[in-house]
């Protein structure tokens, strides 16, 4: 299923984006509350789950807006300059991967997209860490890539379940077949009424 770019009216897109952004913020907060992390900088990738859903049911542009807004808000509320740079590098790189792959769902599943976006997120964070802290952090990179697999599988399966139930082209689109047939029927009745009148 391809990303349904521009199928929503503007008010509907704004309300859906607001709902997804609030969900991403809650997911980021839950991640921050986890007491134990196997490696410094390791995250489950719960906000990326929301970004994948946004790219699939709204548009890739909205996914970027949600990701960037989430990073900025979290940095102001809970983070610092270094944390902001890590999140920005990882978040934007993972969103680029999601945007490139979400329209190729016939070739790659959400699980594959999730694993690759998780690996991209960790890659972006390691690049930012190397810039700020030096190459000593490269020792963790291989372990972060390995951990991308189980976390990507979990978030990918959840994204698949959610998106398959939303089916935006049938339930939410103003240009859905049901809506189109109803509009045609209304137009036909209106024209018939004017002719009889």
- pLDDT tens, position by position, 115-149: 999 999 999 988 988 888 887 778 888 888 898 99
Q: Minimal CA–CA distance to 58: which of 158, 170, 182, 173?
A: 173
DSSP 138: G
Q: Which residues contact 140 (CB under 8 A, 6 or more apart)?
A: 39, 40, 41, 126
If asked whether residues 192 and 127 sit together in one domain, one would say no
Domain-embedded: residue 41: yes
Tokens representing 89 are 């590098």
Q: Does residue 77 sit in the same domain as residue 124?
A: yes
Shared-domain flag, residues 162 and 80: yes
Total of domains in the chain: 2
The CA distance from 41 to 143, in Å, is 11
Same structural domain, 115 and 43: yes
Residue 151, token pair as written in the block: 């976390």
pLDDT for position 75: 86
In a domain, 1, yes or no: no
List Cβ neighbours of 53 (8 Å cut-off, separation of 6 or more).
Answer: 20, 159, 162, 163, 166
- The reply to whether 26 and 70 lie within a common domain is yes
CB count, 10 Å around CB of 28? 23
Q: Do residues 42 and 72 share a domain?
A: yes
In terms of domains, do 16 and 95 share one? yes
pLDDT for res 6: 53
4 falls within a domain: no
Provide the pLDDT for residue 196. 53
104 exposed, middle or buried (CB, 10 Å; 0-12, 13-18, 19+)?
A: exposed
Q: State the residue range of the domain holding 122.
A: 10-166
Contact 98, 113 (CB under 8 A): yes
In a domain, 143, yes or no: yes
At residue 174, the pLDDT reads 40
Contacts of 120 (CB under 8 A, 6+ apart): 90, 93, 94, 96, 97
Which parts of the chain have pLDDT scores under 50?
1-4, 168-194
CA distances from 30 to 25, 72, 138, 183 (A): 9, 17, 27, 44
Question: Residue 24: what pLDDT?
Answer: 92
Q: How many CB atoms lie within 10 A of CB 127?
A: 16
d(CA 90, CA 169): 30
Same domain, yes or no, for 113 and 181?
Answer: no
Tally Cβ neighbours within 10 Å of residue 189.
10
Question: According to the model, what pLDDT value does residue 133 have?
Answer: 81
Asked whether 66 and 124 are in contact (CB, 8 A), the reply is no
Q: Are residues 93 and 107 in the same domain?
A: yes
pLDDT at 41: 63
Q: Does residue 139 belong to any structural domain of this protein?
A: yes
Kindly state whether residues 36 and 132 are assigned to the same domain: yes
Q: Is 2 inside a domain boundary?
A: no
User: For position 83, which CATH number holds?
Assistant: 1.10.1760.20
């Amino acid at each position: 299923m391809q990303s349904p770019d521009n199928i929503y009216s503007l008010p509907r897109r704004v309300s859906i984006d607001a709902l997804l952004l609030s969900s991403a913020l809650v997911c980021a907060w839950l991640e921050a509350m986890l007491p134990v992390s196997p490696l410094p900088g390791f995250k489950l990738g719960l906000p990326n789950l929301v970004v994948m859903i946004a790219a699939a049911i709204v548009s890739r542009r909205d996914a970027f807006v949600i990701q960037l807004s989430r990073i900025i808000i979290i940095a102001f509320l809970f983070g610092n300059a270094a944390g902001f740079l890590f999140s920005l590098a990882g978040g934007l790189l993972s969103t680029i991967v999601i945007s490139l792959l979400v329209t190729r769902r016939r070739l790659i599943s959400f699980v594959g997209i999730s694993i690759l976006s998780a690996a991209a997120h960790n890659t972006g964070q390691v690049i930012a860490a190397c810039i700020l802290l030096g190459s000593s952090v490269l020792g963790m990179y291989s372990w972060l890539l390995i951990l991308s697999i189980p976390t990507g599988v979990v978030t990918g399966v959840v994204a698949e379940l959610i998106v398959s139930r939303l089916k935006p082209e049938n339930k939410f689109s103003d240009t859905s077949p049901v809506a189109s047939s109803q509009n045609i029927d209304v137009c036909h009745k209106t024209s018939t009424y004017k002719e009889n009148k």
